[in-house]
Chains A and B, each alone.
Chain A
Amino acid sequence: DAGVIQSPRHEVTEMGQEVTLRCKPISGHDYLFWYRQTMMRGLELLIYFNNNVPIDDSGMPEDRFSAKMPNASFSTLKIQPSEPRDSAVYFCASSPTPRTVLISTDTQYFGPGTRLTVL
Chain B
Amino acid sequence: AQSVTQLDSQVPVFEEAPVELRCNYSSSVSVYLFWYVQYPNQGLQLLLKYLSGSTLVESINGFEAEFNKSQTSFHLRKPSVHISDTAEYFCAVTSGSARQLTFGSGTQLTVLP
A: number of interface residues (CB 8 Å)? 25
Majority secondary structure, B binding face? loop
- Residues from chain A with a CB closer than 8 A to the CB of B36 are 110
Is there a chain A Cβ closer than 8 Å to B86's Cβ?
no
- Asked if A103 is an interface residue, CB under 8 A from chain B, the answer is yes
Binding-face segment, B14-22, B69-77, B99-107: B99-107
Within 8 A of B (CB), among A88-115: 91, 93, 95, 102-113
B90 cross-chain contacts in A, Cβ below 8 A? 43
Indicate if the CB atoms of A104 and B96 lie closer than 8 Å. Answer: yes
Contact across chains for B51 and A91 when beta carbons are under 8 A apart: no
> Roughly how many angstroms separate A95 CA and B105 CA in the complex, as a whole number?
22
Contacts of A33 in B (CB 8 A): 99-101
Interface residue from B45, B46, B98, B104 paired with A105 (Cβ < 8 Å): B98
Selected contact of B101 from candidates A4, A45, A104, A111, CB within 8 Å: A45
Query: Across the interface, do A50 and B99 meet the contact criterion of CB distance under 8 Å?
Result: yes
With both beta carbons as reference points, the residue of chain B lying nearest to A115 in the complex is identified as B41
Which residue on A lies nearest to B94, using beta carbons? A105
Residue on B with the closest CB to A47? Answer: B100
**What is the interface of chain A, defined by CB distance below 8 A to chain B?**
4, 31, 33, 42-43, 45, 48, 50, 55-56, 91, 93, 95, 102-113
- Contact residues of B with A, CB < 8 Å? 32, 34, 36, 42-46, 49, 51-52, 90, 94, 96-106
* Additional 4 contacts, C-beta under 8 A, given A43-B103, A106-B51: A42-B105, A48-B100, A102-B52, A107-B46
